[in-house]
Amino acid sequence: MSEPLVIIGNGMAAARLVDELSKVALGRYAIAVIGDEPRLAYNRVLLSSVLAGEAASHEIELKPASWWRERGVTLKYNCMATEVDVGRREIKIANEESVSFSKLVLATGSSALRLNVPGADLAGVHTFRDTRDVDLLLTLAAQKKRVVVVGGGLLGLEAAYGLAKAGATVTLLHLMDRLMDRQLDGPAAALLKSLVERKGIEILLNASTARIHGETNVTAVELVDSRRIDADAVIFAAGIRPNTALARDAGIAVNRGVMVDDHLQAGVPDVFAIGECAEHRGICYGLVEPAYEQARVLARHLAGTDAAYTGSVVATNLKVSGVGVFSAGDFTGADGSESLVLRDVNHGTYKKLVISEGRLTGAVLIGDTADALWYLDLIRNRKPIAQIRTDMIFGRSLAMQSEAA
């Protein structure tokens, strides 16, 4: 008899966990996946592609229904889990009967933060988080609306790019003096800004939103410095918050996220958390790669093999507005480190490698990210780079050639 294992959340982490489990523990668990979105799990990373018209909504589905079926998974989408009873090992579902579990995995993800400013509740204020948001934004763009995107991080840039590409007039507001300030140094951010501006997006830095004007509908955004931007809609993309309500209500220890140990186990036996809702060693990751690593470790753990998750060296490695962006490690260059910088602004390239004690400790790449993974590998493995220092910024192929020579 298979043990009932329930996953709450039907996103990328959940899909990956099922995939991993089917590889290492096929048949051991009777898996049920409960998700509130009304569709099969899809690739959230690609929402911006859908918004930009580069992919159709149905194309971003992670796995077809048959895939889930073949793995014996009970899929309950469009279902809201309302309560977890840890003692009785039961989950209540809105308008449905309860489901019991032997093991529970929380993969509830996160939600977009809404700024606490006057007018934040007006009609026309949206977030950019799921396919429903995308449909809304596409409607706005189709009407050639003026849209203000609040937040110059990855999500905000993706939303701005998608909207602009879909036809909206977009202004992007960012609180800090540079875009993606947690991933990029000044020159990289400046280059990214100029590349994004080339797509017709207006970017305002040091832009702190004071209030949103409008009677019922948004009409403008006012900044703390009194600047005012006319707008038909506002998209909040200024950060995310792990979805922890269900866990909290169940008495599971929650800090920012659901606190988990190296086996991804929450404060209660047989309850686990992975993905953006989890907090491991004080860190809530907001990227897909740690979620996948966590899924892999958890699957092994659940299969009874010895596996531990010790955290991820986070690297940002993706396309922002069609521009390759990579950032990893000590990208600012701490005291005592040295920096190698290659820049060709008109050619849309910026590369910085930070070296400390003869090892690569950080990297930022804009434009040409072909060797991003190699740099990440060098950072992770702490390999001495003295022999390849002269050529490494020009890529692995050249550096290997000279190292061999």
Partner 1 sequence: MTAVDPALRAVRTTCAYCGVGCGVLATPDGRGGAAISGDPEHPANFGRLCSKGSALGETLGLESRLLHPMIRCGDAMQRVDWSDALDHVAHRFQHIVARDGPGAVAFYLSGQLLTEDYYVANKLMKGFIGSANVDTNSRLCMASSVAGHRRAFGADTVPGCYEDLDEADLLVFVGSNAAWCHPVLFQRMLANKQKRGARFVVIDPRRTDTVGDDDLFLGLKPGTDSALFNGLLVHLADNGALDPDYIERFTSGFDDTLARARRMAGSVAATALATGLTERDVAAFFQMFAKTTRVVTLYSQGVNQSAQGTDKVNAILNCHLATGRIGRLGASPFSLTGQPNAMGGREVGGLANQLAAHMGFTPPDIDRVKRFWKAPRIATHEGLKAVQMFEAIGRGEIKALWVMGTNPAVSLPNADVVREALKKLDLFVVSENVLSNDTVAAGPHVLLPAEAWGEKSGTVTNSERRISRQRAFLKAPGEAKPDWWILSEVARRLGFGAAFDFKSAADIFREHAALSAFENNGARDFDIGGLKAVSDEGFDAMAPVQWPVSRDAQPQARFFAEGGFYSNDRKARFVAPEMPALRTETTPARPLRLNTGRIRDQWHTMTRTGMSPRLGQHLPEPFIEVHPDDALKYSVADGGFARITTDYGQCTLRVVVSERQQRGMLFAPIHWSGANATGARVGSLVAPYTDPFSGQPENKATPASIAPYEYVFRGFALSRMPMELPGHAWVARVAVTGGHGYLFADNADLRGWQAWMHAAASDDLAEYNDFGGGIYRAASFRGDRIEACLFVGAAGDAGDWNVVKSLFAADALSDMQRRMLLSGKSAEGVASAGPVICACFGVGRDTICNAIAAGARSAAEIGVKLKAGTNCGSCIPELKRLIAQTPVEVDKRKLAVAN
The site for partner 1 (CB under 8 A) is made up of: 43, 45-46, 49, 54-55, 59-60, 62, 288-289, 292, 317-319, 324, 326, 338-347, 349, 355, 368-374, 389-391, 393-395, 397-398, 401-402
Distances in whole angstroms, Cα of residue 178 to Cα of each of 10, 271, 329:
34, 40, 18
Q: In terms of DSSP bridges, do strands 110-112 and 240-242 run parallel, antiparallel, or are they unpaired?
A: antiparallel
CA distance 295 to 290: 8
Instruction: Select 3 or 133, whichever has its Cβ closest to partner 1.
Output: 133
* Contact (CB, 8 A) for 194 and 172: no
Instruction: Select 143 or 397, whichever has its Cβ closest to partner 1.
Output: 397
Neighbours of 128 (CB within 10 A): 24
CA distance 312 to 247: 23
Instruction: Select 236 or 350, whichever has its Cβ closest to partner 1.
Output: 350
Structure tokens at 120: 């934040």
Residue 233's beta-bridge partner residues?
Answer: 147
CA distance 139 to 208: 27
Instruction: Select 235 or 393, whichever has its Cβ closest to partner 1.
Output: 393
* Helices 154-166 and 186-197: angle between axes, nearest 10 degrees: 10
Instruction: Select 76 or 129, whichever has its Cβ closest to partner 1.
Output: 129
Instruction: Select 158 or 279, whichever has its Cβ closest to partner 1.
Output: 158
Instruction: Select 141 or 250, whichever has its Cβ closest to partner 1.
Output: 141
Instruction: Select 37 or 232, whichever has its Cβ closest to partner 1.
Output: 37
Alpha-helix runs per DSSP H in 58-130:
65-70
Smallest separation, CB 395 to partner 1 (Å): 7
User: What SS3 state is found at 93?
Assistant: strand
For Cα atoms 65, 71, 75, give the angle at the middle one, nearest 5 degrees.
50
CA distance 206 to 177: 5
CA distance 280 to 261: 6
Structure tokens at 182: 């947690």
* Contact (CB, 8 A) for 160 and 149: yes
Instruction: Select 214 or 333, whichever has its Cβ closest to partner 1.
Output: 333
Smallest separation, CB 358 to partner 1 (Å): 11
Burial of 124 (0-12, 13-18, 19+ CB in 10 A): buried
* Contact (CB, 8 A) for 386 and 358: yes
Smallest separation, CB 313 to partner 1 (Å): 14
Smallest separation, CB 343 to partner 1 (Å): 6
Instruction: Select 77 or 374, whichever has its Cβ closest to partner 1.
Output: 374
Smallest separation, CB 62 to partner 1 (Å): 7
Contacts of 198 (CB under 8 A, 6+ apart): none
Q: In terms of DSSP bridges, do strands 81-85 and 74-76 run parallel, antiparallel, or are they unpaired?
A: unpaired
